[in-house]
Amino acid sequence: MKDIFTLGNKKMHSHVVIGGDLATFESGTVHPVYSTFAIARDAEWCCRLFVLEMKEEDEEGIGTFVHVNHLAPALLGAEITFEAEITELHGNTINCNWEAREGQRIIAKGSQGQKIIKRDRLEKLFYEIKKLR
């Protein structure tokens, strides 16, 4: 794992809300707005941008948690800017706080964690889980 970031470093990611991001379940679309679960996915991606630069060829990141405080709606077609800031770097753990905005309006904020692990260790873990099925 590359030691290239420090506490307070930031990454940004922009996303335009599309149909697949709406609050839709098997029963249909609940609201034509950016869903909390899509926000969580995009927040995790923004935090993962650090991992992509930190991991070695034989390593991969895996999410450990995501917290979302969904504060306001964003409509189809809205451009959302995510900003993640490193709040913890310890061993193979990287944790971030993040915020999602449409212009100046905060639509969500939260935190997200990942660990960087050797790929062969992850493959072994997934193999062991499959054996339990």
Q: Is position 5 within any domain?
A: no
Tens-place pLDDT, residues 43-71: 999 999 999 999 999 999 999 999 999 99
Tens-place pLDDT, residues 85-109: 999 999 999 999 999 999 999 999 9
For residue 119, give the CATH number of its domain: 3.10.129.10
Q: Is position 3 within any domain?
A: no
Number of domains present in the structure of the chain: 1
Task: Report the C-alpha dihedral over residues 18, 23, 26, 30, rounded to 10 degrees.
Answer: -120
- Complete DSSP assignment for 34-63: E-HHHHHHHHHHHHHHHHHHH--TTEEEEE
The answer to whether the beta carbons of residues 117 and 64 sit under 8 Å apart is no
pTM for this model (two decimals): 0.92
